[in-house]
Structure 1
């Protein structure tokens, strides 16, 4: 499994609407090929900063299958207007689990 981690900085005072839009988008991820999990985390220190963490079976499930889909376009339609800057996305895999 790999994790897509999107570092998202949103416009001030749009938290509730942004979080509602991400919640609305959950079915898009749920039906995406190879998508195993999603979670949204909000920074305590920088309240306008979020991390969207999506578990994928393979890198291509995200970069090819999802990004090439109509559901990706719908995702961007739902949340893109909240972005204060383009999201920074990286892909990670677990190399050690302590406990």
Structure 2
């Protein structure tokens, strides 16, 4: 399992519109092969700042399966115009502690 992380900055005054668009777009990502779960967190200290966390079965499920799909084109259409600047997406794997 991998964790996708993206810090999102939403254009000023568009937060409520973004949250509604994200609710609708969530149906897209949750239907993808390898998708496990996702969550969107709103920052309490900085207006318009969000953290998106998505769990995937593998890195390729996100980078190839989702990012190279027709569904991703719809995801982009619904959400990418809200971001300024465009977010950096990173992937993490869990460190085994025991």
Give the TM-score of the pair, scaled to structure 1: 0.93
2:95 corresponding residue in structure 1: 95
Which consecutive residues of structure 1, in runs of 5 or more, have no partner in the other structure? Answer: none
Structure-1 residue corresponding to 2:85: 85
RMSD: 1.1
Q: What is aligned with 1:3? A: 3
Q: Where do 4+ consecutive residues of structure 1 move more than 6 Å?
A: none
Partner residue of 1:27? Answer: 27
Q: Deviations 1:13-42 (Å, cap 9, x if unpaired)?
A: 111100111100111111101000010011
CA distance in 1, matches of 2:44, 2:96: 26
Counterpart residue number, 1:69: 69
Helix, strand or coil for the counterpart of 1:85? coil
Mark the runs of 5 or more structure 2 residues left unpaired by the alignment: none
What corresponds to 1:39 in structure 2? 39
Q: Distance in 2 between matches of 1:25 and 1:59?
A: 21
